Amino acid sequence: MSIPSGRRQVRGTTRGGGPRSESRILDAAYDLLTEEGLAAATVEAIAARAGVSKVTIYKWWPNRAAVVTNAFLSRSGHALPYPNSMTREAVIDSLIHMADSFRGPTGKAIRALVAEGQTDPDAARAFQDGYINARRERGREIVRDAIDEGLIKPADPDVVLDLLFAPLYFRLIVGHQPLNDDAIRAHVTLALDGLLA
């Protein structure tokens, strides 16, 4: 999986700085993020847990935000797939799978990264570029294909994605209601009743 946000390209391998070190760094950053919170995931703490120097980390990533976001993408990115099509069943299955991921470490990581982004521009940029924007392009393709196939009514793909996915993020971040399967089915039914052709 390609991890674009803030990752520097490194040519060749240096002692203590090869692929194993990269994997250890990402694992350490993710574990610190989900076990102790974002404040604990400092470059110093990540380096200590991974058994590498801070220099090794800075050789590959420009700042802590990039390391932590890359760690999140490497461990959780695959857990949040878009549906393969815009049928009711596929969308419900995808959102239920996403909600299940949100109830675990993935949700904790997203909450921490979004919160950090409110005061740290680097964190906001890394999360938006590496996670939100990268995923949304794939989502737009799925929506455009569904429109072309006559599955859903013509609509702005970004609005469609917001309509379907934003309620999960809202419940995750605000926490006013639980992310349960019944709520997801009700929300998808209401949304798709207006979208399906």
Domains of the chain by range and CATH?
Answer: 19-74 (1.10.10.60), 80-195 (1.10.357.10)
Q: State residue 46's pLDDT score.
A: 97
Q: Please state the separation of Cα 114 from the chain's center in Å.
A: 10
DSSP state of 129: I
Neighbours of 15 (CB within 10 A): 7
Q: What is the CA radius of gyration of the chain?
A: 18
Question: What would the two tokens of residue 45 be?
Answer: 């703490």
Q: Decide: 113 and 72 in contact? Cβ < 8 Å.
A: yes
Predicted structure pTM score: 0.79
- Whole-angstrom CA distances from 99 to 42, 54, 174 are 28, 35, 14
Q: How far is 68 from 63, CA to CA, in rounded Å? A: 9
Q: How far is 88 from 92, CA to CA, in rounded Å? A: 6
Angle at 141 between CA 158 and CA 90, to 5 degrees: 90
Q: State residue 156's pLDDT score.
A: 97
pLDDT < 70 stretches in the chain: 1-19
Q: State residue 20's pLDDT score.
A: 84
Q: State residue 10's pLDDT score.
A: 32
By residue count, the chain amounts to 197
Q: State residue 42's pLDDT score.
A: 94
Neighbours of 19 (CB within 10 A): 9
Nearest to 126 by CA among 33, 174, 62: 62
Q: State residue 17's pLDDT score.
A: 56
